[in-house]
Amino acid sequence: MADSPLVLGIDSSTQSTKAVLVDASDGSIVEQRSAAHPPGTSVDPRAWIAALDEAAGPLLDRAAAVSVGGQQHGAVVLDQAGDPVREALLWNDLRSADAADDLVEELGGPQASADLTGSVLLGSYTVTKLRWIRDHEPDSAERVHRVLLPHDYLTWHLAGRTEDPTTDRGDASGTGYFSTRDDGWLPDVLERALGRSALLPRIAEPAEIVAQRNDQHGGLVIGPGTGDNMAAALGLGLRDGDVAVSIGTSGVASAVTSEPIADGSGQVSGFADATGRFLPLACTINAARILEVGARLLDVDHAGLADLALQSVPGAHGLTLLPYLDGERTPNRPDAAGTLHGLTSATTRADLARAHVEGLLFSLADAVEALSLAAGREPERLLLIGGAARNPAVRALAPLVFGVPVVLPEPAEYVALGAARQAAWVLAGTAGPPDWPVSTTDLPTGQTVADLRQDYSVLRDLTASWKTRKATS
């Protein structure tokens, strides 16, 4: 029997590029590599190309197909020569929060925005960054000839720029100038934001071959790629009734649905997925960083934070952390700061550690609840992924907070694996993506603690109208 072909999946995230070389028959990893990205919320996109070449370059000649999963929303603005006009504003750059409010008002309000684009526009969305460029860097806006997303830019690079750039409906649905209802661009919205028209990539079909490379190593098929959340859903093989909760740089709760969602409250983004269905998603700006801050304040590492948290009791003896450290997206509070409530002379280090872990999980539970209301169904199980999902306290407390079965997929680079699964699908030319097994562990459910989130909910609602100023380093 001939050897199964190998496919390459690439995850170009906020922090790094990760590349996994995978056996197309079963998804088993043959080799993986990574390369770091520059820090910051505004980055020269050419740095991602350098990282891609470092991480994926040595693996390309062994792959029959490749796809890229990229961080959503980043605004890659290019001039007529195809060079960056300015650094790309990333999803977590919230300088465009006021621009988002202005655009929502211009579109007719929150529900009108959701009906048109699938989402109420927030400061993370690409279109709001274009409006910020128009208002604050008019000379840059005048030079913009083409607008791409990070994964589009990298796919175009892999294709040698010999074809026009492409994207996919999943990543496109996070721009704010794409209609999930009609599956197409909204060029008038882009022009309203930027103040001029600009070229957009062609939207490829989910399993389309967008380019092919032929060199001394043979042929390489290039898939359309997708956004990181869509790739993660592919990598996990999300099924009906599943909610994936990712705890990384951001916190993300997502589910696959057959119909589009237009949530006028703004808490749920009505994205498309990478297969032809939809991927409603609720995102928090703050996630793993909450644990990092708690560990730093207590002068312990992550294991020490977990040990301390598990020494306290549910509710941390009344100590509650509202963890909106760097503003927040769900709920939409871009100017918020964190709030610690309930300090007494009896408060212990263990209580402070517990409050950080519970605050993280309570915030994610808000995202899951918003998603469930928008989708019209309760989750049957939660799949907990991301770096912070490995924290023992997070694992122990998650079932108590969420109140539904929680499973822990084996730690893996699911964005890169999802991109690899898309590459295998493109290579095979089948009706759907291949079935790859995902190994999971059921977390012990324990006893759900009644009213565990009550103090958190009161604090969240009490601070809704506060205007806070974040400290700067």
Tell whether 198 and 251 lie within a shared domain. no
Active site residues: 228
pLDDT-derived band at 215 (thresholds 50, 70, 90) equals low
Residues 180-213 pLDDT 10s = 999 999 999 999 999 999 999 999 999 999 999 8
Domain boundary among 224, 259, 290: 224
Tell whether 277 and 169 lie within a shared domain. no
Q: Is the pLDDT reported for residue 465 higher than 90?
A: no
Domain span holding position 253: 237-409+443-473
Average pLDDT (231-242) is 94
Residues 312-322 pLDDT 10s = 999 999 999 99
What pLDDT shows up at residue 471?
A: 46
Residue type, 404: V
What pLDDT shows up at residue 472?
A: 45
Domain boundary among 176, 200, 224: 224
Residues 350-390 pLDDT 10s = 999 999 999 999 999 999 999 999 989 999 999 999 889 99
Q: Is the pLDDT reported for residue 448 higher than 70?
A: no
Q: Is 320 within a domain?
A: yes
What pLDDT shows up at residue 447?
A: 67
Tell whether 471 and 346 lie within a shared domain. yes
Tell whether 201 and 249 lie within a shared domain. no
Tell whether 50 and 126 lie within a shared domain. yes
Q: Which two tokens stand for residue 146?
A: 């083409």
- Provide, rounded to the nearest whole percent, the portion of the chain with pLDDT above 90: 87
What pLDDT shows up at residue 41?
A: 94
- Residue 423 near residue 7 (C-beta atoms within 8 A): yes
Average pLDDT (134-149) is 98
Tell whether 208 and 255 lie within a shared domain. no
Q: Is 179 within a domain?
A: yes
Q: Is 422 within a domain?
A: no
Among candidates 3, 4, 7, which has minimal Cα distance to 418? Answer: 7
- Residue 242 near residue 234 (C-beta atoms within 8 A): no
Q: Average pLDDT of the chain?
A: 94
Q: Is the pLDDT reported for residue 218 higher than 80?
A: no
What pLDDT shows up at residue 401?
A: 93
Find the largest Cα–Cα distance for the chain: 71
Among candidates 159, 351, 84, 388, which has minimal Cα distance to 251? Answer: 388
Average pLDDT (128-147) is 98
Q: Is 73 within a domain?
A: yes
Residues 52-103 pLDDT 10s = 999 999 999 999 999 999 999 999 999 999 999 999 999 989 899 999 999 9
Tell whether 205 and 244 lie within a shared domain. no
Q: Is 200 within a domain?
A: yes
Tell whether 204 and 246 lie within a shared domain. no
CA distance 368 to 378: 9
CATH number of the domain at 264, please: 3.30.420.40
Q: Which two tokens stand for residue 214?
A: 């032929």
For the chain, what is the domain count? Answer: 2
What pLDDT shows up at residue 335?
A: 86
Average pLDDT (413-418) is 96
pLDDT-derived band at 111 (thresholds 50, 70, 90) equals very high
Residue 429's alpha-carbon distances to 205, 218, 237, 248, in angstroms, are: 12, 19, 18, 33
pLDDT-derived band at 216 (thresholds 50, 70, 90) equals low
Q: Is 435 within a domain?
A: no
Tell whether 134 and 249 lie within a shared domain. no
Domain boundary among 171, 195, 224: 224
Tell whether 208 and 347 lie within a shared domain. no
Higher-confidence residue: 131 or 4? 131
Q: Is 278 within a domain?
A: yes
Tell whether 202 and 244 lie within a shared domain. no
Q: Is the pLDDT reported for residue 2 higher than 70?
A: no
Q: Is the pLDDT reported for residue 227 higher than 50?
A: yes
Q: Which two tokens stand for residue 254?
A: 């997502």
Burial of 200 (0-12, 13-18, 19+ CB in 10 A): buried
Q: Is 62 within a domain?
A: yes
Tell whether 300 and 449 lie within a shared domain. yes
